[in-house]
C-alpha cells in the first residue's frame, strides 16, 4: 500500500470539496514530479471500493500499467482499450488510449460503457486531443483532468469550455523547500533565432534545427556540459530528428557516451536505447518529441534544452525531467540553449494557473533598457547587447540560479583561465581538449606537483614526452613546474621525441 504525502492528501481533499460544491469537471494541477499518477490512482481505488465505475483516458497506457506503476501499487488492474484489443471486456475500471476510444464510440457497447461511468480521469489534460471526449461523457460523471500545466493559448480551446475549477495544492518552490523536488541551476546560452518562423504556434522545427546547425550550437553544448556537468546523466531535447542525431554525433565525437531516440525507431530499438540509458550512470540521451511526458528516470541530473519553444507546457515538462530527487541527488542542472528561461521565466517560478486562455500581448511600445557598457537602447528581454556584445551579469533568484554564458568558439583567455582555476582536473582537461585554454598555461600556472601533472597529461591524452618541450622553463625558477621538470619521471627517451622540435610543441596536438 502506498502512503500519500501530505500535499497529495491535501489535493484529494480539495478535489472532494470542489466536487461537493457542484463542480463536476475539475483540473488537478500538480508540478512534474509531484506524483499526479499516485494521486489519481488513490482516487480510482477509492471510487472502485464504493462500487463506482471508472475510466482512465491517456496517451501512455504502457507507462500507467507497468508492473511498478502507481495503479498497480494501489491494486488497480484496469482493462485496456487500445489498438489490437477491439472486443470490450466486462469491467468496473477501464484505461483507454484516447484515439482508440474515440474511434469506437460509435459502437453500441462502448456507448453503453461510457454511460455507466461514474469517474473519468484524463491524464495530461492540457492536451487538446482529449477535448473530443467530452461529447460522450454523461453529465452525472465526475471528470478529473490531471496536468502539470493547465495552460492553453493560440488556436486551442480554452480549458474553461470543459472544466469549472482548478485545484492547485502545491507549487514547485514548496516541493523544493520540502525536499520533494531537486533544486535547479540554469545555465542560459543566448541563441540567435532571427529568421526562424512560427508554425502551428511554435518555432518551425526544421528551421530551428537548421539555425542551430549553422551556428554550431552543439559546440556550446559540449563545452558547457564538460565544464559544468561532466560525467552526469543527461537528457537532451532537440527540435527535430535530424537535429537530435547531429547533436548525438557531435557528443560522441567529443568522446561522450550519447545515444539518440525518436518515435520513428522500431519498438525493440527504442527499448534497447531506453534500457541502455536506465543502466548508464553518465549517459546522454538525445531525443525529439518523445520524452517530454510520461518518462521518469530520477537519476537524470542534467536537462539540455537544445531547442527553443514558445510553449510554456513543453518548457516546464522538459525541465521537470530532471527534478526528481534520490538519496544521492538533491540538485540538477538545466542547460538552456534556446532563450527559454528568458521567454517563460524560471522553471521554479510561482505561476498562477487559469482556465482562460493566455491573452495576446498588445502591440504597444516595446519596453527598452540601456546597455550598461555602451549605452545602446535595446529590448528588455535581451541578455546580450546587439551593439557591443556585452553579456548581462549572473542572475540569482530566490530558489534557483541562472548563469548567462556564451557559445562562442573564440579563445577568451580571461574567462576560461578563471574557469580553469575554479574547476576540477577533469573539467580543466575538457577545456584543453576544446582548445579553450593552453595546456602549457595550465602547467605553468595551476599545476604544482608532478602527480597532478601526470594525471592531467593522461586525461588530455599526452605522453610524458611533452615535458621535453618545456625545458626552456628551467631558466625560470619561479614557475611551479620547475621542480617537476627536474624529476627523472619526466625525462623521455630520444625515440619518443624523434623529429619533434621545441617550436612544434606550441601546437601540442593530442598524440
pTM above 0.95, yes or no: no
Contact 152, 158 (CB under 8 A): yes
More confident residue, 8 or 297: 8
Is the model's pLDDT at 307 over the cut of 50?
yes
Assign 441 a pLDDT band (cuts: 50, 70, 90): confident
- Tell me what pLDDT residue 437 has: 78
Q: Among the three residues 170, 195, 215, which one is the final residue of a domain in this structure? A: 170
The answer on 186 and 161 residing in a single domain is no
Q: What's the rounded mean pLDDT across residues 214-236? A: 92
Neighbouring CB atoms inside 10 A of 272's CB total: 14
Query: CA torsion angle for 393, 196, 341, 294 (degrees, to 10)?
Result: -150
Q: Look at residues 65, 14, 71 and name the one whose alpha carbon lies nearest to residue 40.
A: 71
Question: Which distant-in-sequence residues (6+ apart) come within 8 Å of 246 by Cβ?
Answer: 209, 213, 218
Is the model's pLDDT at 269 over the cut of 70?
yes
- Tell me what pLDDT residue 410 has: 37
CATH of the domain at 290: 3.40.50.300
Q: What's the rounded mean pLDDT across residues 406-424? A: 60
Bridge partner residues of 95 (DSSP) = 56, 80
- Tell me what pLDDT residue 502 has: 35
Q: Among the three residues 170, 191, 221, which one is the final residue of a domain in this structure? A: 170
Q: Is residue 425 part of a domain?
A: no
Mean pLDDT, the chain, rounded, equals 80
Is the model's pLDDT at 261 over the cut of 70?
yes
Q: Is residue 195 part of a domain?
A: yes
The answer on 181 and 147 residing in a single domain is no
C-alpha cell at 225: 556540459
- Tell me what pLDDT residue 179 has: 94
Q: Is residue 368 part of a domain?
A: no
Is the model's pLDDT at 319 over the cut of 90?
yes
Q: Is residue 94 part of a domain?
A: yes
**Please, is 62 exposed, middle or buried when counting C-beta atoms within 10 Å of its C-beta (0-12, 13-18, 19+)?**
exposed
What's the alpha-carbon Rg for the chain, to the nearest Å? Answer: 28
How far apart CA 490 and CA 497 sit, in angstroms, is 12
**Please, is 466 exposed, middle or buried when counting C-beta atoms within 10 Å of its C-beta (0-12, 13-18, 19+)?**
buried
Is the model's pLDDT at 491 over the cut of 80?
no
Q: What's the rounded mean pLDDT across residues 258-271? A: 90
156-195 burial, b at 16+ Cβ within 10 Å, e below that, comes to: eeebeebbbbbbbbbbbbebbeeebbbbbbbbbbbbebee
How far apart CA 146 and CA 326 sit, in angstroms, is 24
Is the model's pLDDT at 221 over the cut of 80?
yes
Assign 321 a pLDDT band (cuts: 50, 70, 90): very high
Q: Look at residues 449, 443, 419 and name the one whose alpha carbon lies nearest to residue 508.
A: 443
The answer on 158 and 65 residing in a single domain is yes
Total domains in the chain come to: 3
The answer on 166 and 274 residing in a single domain is no
Q: Which domain holds residue 71?
A: 6-170
SS3 at position 262: strand
How far apart CA 196 and CA 366 sit, in angstroms, is 20
Phi, psi of 148 (to 5 degrees): -85, -15
Is the model's pLDDT at 110 over the cut of 70?
yes
Neighbouring CB atoms inside 10 A of 426's CB total: 13
Contact 39, 8 (CB under 8 A): yes
The answer on 145 and 90 residing in a single domain is yes
The answer on 204 and 319 residing in a single domain is yes
Phi, psi of 335 (to 5 degrees): -100, 105
- Tell me what pLDDT residue 490 has: 40
84-98, 114-128, 322-336: segment of lowest average pLDDT: 84-98
C-alpha cell at 240: 527535430
- Tell me what pLDDT residue 383 has: 60
SS3 at position 357: coil
How far apart CA 264 and CA 170 sit, in angstroms, is 37
Q: Is residue 317 part of a domain?
A: yes
Among 199-208, 288-297, 475-484, the range of highest mean pLDDT: 199-208
Cα three-residue angle 316-317-318, rounded to 5 degrees: 90
Assign 484 a pLDDT band (cuts: 50, 70, 90): very low
C-alpha cell at 54: 471508472
pLDDT tens per residue, range 145-196: 999 999 887 788 999 999 999 999 999 999 999 999 999 998 888 888 999 9
The answer on 264 and 189 residing in a single domain is yes
Q: Is residue 410 part of a domain?
A: no
What is the percent of the chain where pLDDT is above 90? 48
The answer on 258 and 181 residing in a single domain is yes
Q: List, as one string, the DSSP characters of 38-81.
A: HHHHHHHHHHHHTT--EEEEES-HHHHHSTTSHHHHTT--PEEE
The answer on 200 and 163 residing in a single domain is no
Q: Is residue 367 part of a domain?
A: no
199-208, 370-379, 443-452, 491-500: segment of lowest average pLDDT: 491-500
Is the model's pLDDT at 85 over the cut of 60?
yes
pLDDT tens per residue, range 369-400: 555 555 555 555 556 665 556 665 544 343 45
The answer on 160 and 22 residing in a single domain is yes
How far apart CA 468 and CA 19 sit, in angstroms, is 79
The answer on 258 and 147 residing in a single domain is no
- Tell me what pLDDT residue 386 has: 55
Q: What's the rounded mean pLDDT across residues 272-279? A: 93
DSSP assignment, residue 200?
T
Q: Among the three residues 170, 201, 229, which one is the final residue of a domain in this structure? A: 170
The answer on 56 and 151 residing in a single domain is yes
Amino acid at each position: 500500500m502506498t502512503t500519500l504525502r501530505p500535499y497529495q492528501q491535501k489535493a484529494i481533499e480539495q478535489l472532494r470539496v470542489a466536487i461537493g460544491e457542484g463542480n463536476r469537471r475539475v483540473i488537478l494541477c500538480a508540478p512534474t514530479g509531484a506524483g499526479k499518477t499516485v494521486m489519481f490512482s488513490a482516487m480510482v481505488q477509492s471510487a472502485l471500493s464504493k462500487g463506482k465505475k471508472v475510466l482512465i483516458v491517456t496517451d501512455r497506457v504502457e507507462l500507467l500499467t507497468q508492473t511498478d506503476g502507481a495503479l498497480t501499487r494501489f491494486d488497480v488492474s484496469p482493462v485496456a482499450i487500445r489498438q489490437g484489443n477491439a472486443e470490450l471486456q466486462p469491467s468496473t475500471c477501464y484505461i483507454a488510449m484516447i484515439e482508440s476510444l474515440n474511434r469506437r464510440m460509435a459502437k453500441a457497447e462502448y456507448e453503453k460503457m461510457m454511460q455507466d461511468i461514474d469517474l473519468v480521469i484524463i491524464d495530461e489534460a492540457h492536451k487538446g486531443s482529449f477535448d473530443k471526449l467530452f461529447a460522450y461523457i454523461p453529465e452525472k460523471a465526475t471528470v478529473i483532468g490531471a496536468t502539470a500545466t493547465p495552460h492553453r493559448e493560440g488556436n486551442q480551446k480554452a480549458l474553461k469550455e470543459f472544466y469549472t475549477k482548478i485545484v492547485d495544492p502545491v507549487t514547485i518552490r514548496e516541493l523544493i523547500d520540502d525536499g520533494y523536488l531537486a533544486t535547479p541551476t540554469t545555465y542560459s546560452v543566448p541563441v540567435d533565432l532571427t529568421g526562424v518562423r512560427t508554425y502551428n504556434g511554435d518555432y518551425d522545427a526544421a528551421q530551428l534545427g537548421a539555425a542551430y546547425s549553422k551556428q554550431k550550437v552543439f559546440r556550446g553544448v559540449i563545452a558547457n556540459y564538460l565544464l559544468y556537468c561532466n560525467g552526469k546523466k543527461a537528457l537532451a531535447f532537440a527540435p527535430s530528428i535530424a537535429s537530435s542525431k547531429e547533436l548525438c554525433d557531435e557528443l560522441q565525437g567529443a568522446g561522450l557516451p550519447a545515444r539518440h531516440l525518436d518515435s520513428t525507431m522500431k519498438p525493440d530499438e527504442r527499448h534497447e536505447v531506453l534500457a541502455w540509458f536506465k543502466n548508464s550512470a553518465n549517459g546522454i540521451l538525445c531525443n525529439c518529441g518523445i520524452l517530454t511526458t510520461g518518462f521518469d528516470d530520477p537519476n537524470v541530473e542534467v536537462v539540455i534544452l537544445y531547442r527553443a519553444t514558445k510553449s510554456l507546457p513543453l518548457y516546464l515538462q522538459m525541465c521537470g525531467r530532471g527534478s526528481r530527487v534520490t538519496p544521492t541527488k538533491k540538485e540538477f542542472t538545466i542547460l538552456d540553449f534556446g532563450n527559454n528561461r528568458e521567454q517563460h521565466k524560471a522553471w521554479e517560478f510561482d505561476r498562477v494557473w487559469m482556465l482562460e486562455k493566455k491573452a495576446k500581448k498588445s502591440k504597444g511600445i516595446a519596453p527598452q533598457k540601456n546597455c550598461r557598457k555602451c549605452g545602446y537602447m535595446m529590448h528588455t528581454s535581451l541578455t546580450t547587447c546587439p551593439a557591443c556584445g556585452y553579456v548581462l551579469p549572473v542572475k540569482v533568484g530566490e530558489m534557483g540560479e541562472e548563469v548567462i554564458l556564451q557559445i562562442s568558439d573564440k579563445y577568451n583567455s580571461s574567462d576560461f583561465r578563471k574557469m580553469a582555476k575554479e574547476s576540477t582536473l577533469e573539467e580543466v582537461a575538457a577545456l584543453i581538449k576544446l582548445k579553450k585554454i593552453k595546456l602549457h598555461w595550465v602547467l605553468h600556472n595551476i599545476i604544482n606537483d608532478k602527480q597532478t601533472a601526470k594525471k592531467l597529461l593522461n586525461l588530455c591524452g599526452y605522453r610524458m614526452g611533452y615535458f621535453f618541450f618545456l625545458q626552456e622553463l628551467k631558466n625560470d625558477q619561479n614557475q611551479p613546474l620547475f621542480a617537476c621538470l627536474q624529476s627523472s619521471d619526466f625525462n623521455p627517451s630520444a625515440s619518443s621525441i624523434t623529429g619533434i622540435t621545441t617550436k612544434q610543441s606550441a601546437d601540442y596536438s593530442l598524440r
